[in-house]
Amino acid sequence: MTDDPTLTLFAGIGAVLVVASLIGAVLAWRAGDTPNPAIENLNARIKAWWVMVAAIGLAFLAGKAGVILLFAFASFAALREFLTLTDTRRTDHLALSLSFFVVLPVQYYLIWIEWYGLYSIFVPVWVFLLLPIVVAVRGDTRDFMERVAEIQWGLMICVFCLSHVPALLTLEIAGFDGRELLLIAFLVIVVQISDVLQYVWGKLLGRRKVAPSLSPSKTWEGLVGGVASAVAIGAGLWWITPFSPLEAAFMALVITLMGFFGGLVMSAIKRDRGVKDWGRMIEGHGGMLDRLDSVVFAAPIFFHLVRYGS
C-alpha cells in the first residue's frame, strides 16, 4: 500500500471522488428544495463509494490479512442475502449453519495458507458432494433438489467465486513480487467502472434493450460504450499490472464482458424471486450482491487468466 504505484492509484481515485462529490453538491444546490430522485440517488451512490474505497484502502493497509478478512465479510453478507431469498426448510438449518460457519471460513483459510490444490476444488467438489448428504440424512425430501441446488449456488457465487479476489494475492508472478494487491485494484476498478459507464452511455445513447425482462436499464449502446471505455481505462492502467498495454486491454475486455453477463444472471435470479435489490446494506447500491454481482463472475476468470498467462 505504501509503494508509489499504489499511492498514485488511490490518489487518482480520491481525486475522481472529490470531483464527483463537487458535481453532486452543485446539482443538489441547483435543484434547491425541489425533490429530485435522480440527484439524490447520485449523491447517495457517491457517499457509498467513499465508504467502499475507504474500506478497501484500510484493507490494503493491513495487507494480506486485511484483504482476506474484508472479502470473507463480503462473502458472509452476500451469502446471507442470497439464501434469504431461497425456499429453505427447518431441516436445512444444519446445512445452512455449516455453509456459514464451516465452509466459508475454511475456504478463506485455505487461501490464507495458499493451498491452491484444495481451495480451487473445496467448494465445487467436496462441498458439492457432501452438502446433499447432510440435507438427505435429515429425511425431508420435499423440494429436495431445489433446496440443495439453491444452497450450492449460493456457496459457488458468494464464497467460491468471490474468494478468487483475495486469492490473487497468492499468485507468484516473475518481477511482480509484493505488488499483488494491485491486481485486485485492477480487477475491481475495471469491472466497477464498466458498470458505471454502461449506465452512463445507456442514459446518453441507449435505445435497444439487451434483455428487457431481466434488466430494463441495460442497452446495447450502453454495453458497447461502457465496455469500450472500460477497456481503454484498463489499457491505461497497465502500469499497475504485470501486463503490457495490449494484454491489459484484453484482460479488461474479458472481465467486463463476464461482469456484464454476471449482472444479467443475478438479475434473472432477482426477477425470479420478485425483488429489485438483494438488500439494503449499501445506501444507493442495494445489497452487497448488487455491488458485487459483476465481480463474482469476473474474478475466477481473471484469476486463472493471470495464473496461467503470466
Query: Residue 43 has what pLDDT?
Result: 77
Report d(CA 303, CA 180) in Å as an integer: 11
Contact call for residues 152 and 128 (beta carbons, < 8 A): yes
Query: Residue 37 has what pLDDT?
Result: 73
Reply yes or no on whether the pLDDT at 1 is more than 60. no
Rg for the chain, CA atoms, rounded? 20
Which grid cell sits at 234?
484498463
Residue with cell 428487457: 212
Mean pLDDT of the chain: 89
Query: Residue 216 has what pLDDT?
Result: 79
- Read off the pLDDT of each residue in 192-219 and give the average, rounded to a whole number: 84
**Of residues 92, 236, 79, 248, the one with CA closest to residue 155:** 79
Give the contacts of 179 (CB within 8 A, at least 6 positions apart): 3, 5, 6, 240
83-132, pLDDT tens digit by residue? Answer: 999 988 999 999 999 999 999 999 999 999 999 999 999 999 999 999 99
**Of residues 240, 193, 168, the one with CA closest to residue 10:** 240
Structure letter (DSSP) for residue 91: G
Binning pLDDT at 50, 70 and 90, where does residue 285 land? low
Contact call for residues 279 and 285 (beta carbons, < 8 A): no
3-state helix, strand, coil in the chain (%, to 5): 75, 0, 20
Quote the pTM value. 0.90
Count Cβ atoms below 10 Å from residue 284 Cβ, excluding itself.
16
Which grid cell sits at 69?
478478512
150-203, pLDDT tens digit by residue? Answer: 999 999 999 999 999 999 999 999 888 888 899 999 999 999 889 888 888 887
119-136, pLDDT tens digit by residue? Answer: 999 999 999 999 999 999
**Of residues 210, 188, 160, 176, the one with CA closest to residue 256:** 188
